[in-house]
Amino acid sequence: MRFSGKTAVVTGAASGIGKASVLLLASEGATVYAADIDEDGGTELASQSNGTIVFQRCDVTSTEDIKALMDRAAADTGGIDIVFNNAGAGGDGAPIDEIEPEGWDRTMDLLLRSVAFGIRYAVPHMIGRVGASIINTSSVAAVGPGYSPNAYAVAKAGVLHLTKMSAADLAKHQIRVNAIQPGFINTNIFTSTLELTGEHAEMGKAAIAAMSAGAQPVNRGGQSEDIANAMAFLASEESSFVNGTSIVVDGGITIGPKYSWDANEPDMFEALRAMAEQIQQ
């Protein structure tokens, strides 16, 4: 097993990508500290293991909570080998000409500042651990408009640069730092951002699943396990020569506009070709 004897910390662990990652790490031998503000979900997740999954409530907008999480994991097990800074939500959805300072700051605290201090408070417990690895969740939204609200995209772009800067800073400790850029993944981030609950949330998830199936060249919606598998690769010795970069796991959605890969989608030159044909007749 790839993670036998390892200690891992995963934030945003109670559902979606975080939950899939916790279960994968634990199944391959790690002791996993699963952190989330969802106490019911986190407790239920921990109950699925024989003690290899430990839940701790953690609000990643609180540096005190982050430090307490990292300190506990290290105190219980002797150190930390893997950190997956994954917690997040859609953030403030307002465009740049309407967003208020509070919404901007709240989004940055949740999606960017939390990653910085997840690294900050984990590193003292990772020094000297062979194969130590930090993985940060960014997004395809980091590469340009059209994938998310403004503040979310800017924060996720910041995560990419923070990943590179941290990899450079931590090279002296032989701690690798990489990121994952998920595409359209079927999780509850969309319904929670829209504040849908109960039956409406389930309806929203079904609608998202239907829409996402044809959104990218790989003809299915992305699943939490797709990201968990990439995380496990970056956390393992299989990626020991991978550092300071990101893996895009998006089914090809960033390849280009839909007409570039879908033969049934009219491209931007179709009208011009039709006009040329008419002229030639």
Helices (H), 123-258: 150-170, 189-193, 198-212, 224-235
Residues whose CB falls within 8 Å of the CB of residue 124, separated by 6 or more in sequence, listed in order? none
Q: Residue 82: is it exposed, middle or buried by C-beta count within 10 angstroms (0-12/13-18/19+)?
A: buried
Nearest of 230, 184, 180, 189 to residue 209 by alpha carbon? 184
Q: How far apart are CA 47 and CA 54, in angstroms?
A: 9
33 carries an active-site annotation: no
Q: Which two tokens stand for residue 191?
A: 């319904």
Nearest of 33, 30, 192 to residue 110 by alpha carbon? 192
Q: How far apart are CA 37 and CA 60, in angstroms?
A: 8
Q: How far apart are CA 223 and CA 155, in angstroms?
A: 23
Catalytic residue among 33, 121, 147, 152: 152
Q: Which two tokens stand for residue 92?
A: 């403030």
| Residues marked as catalytic | 152
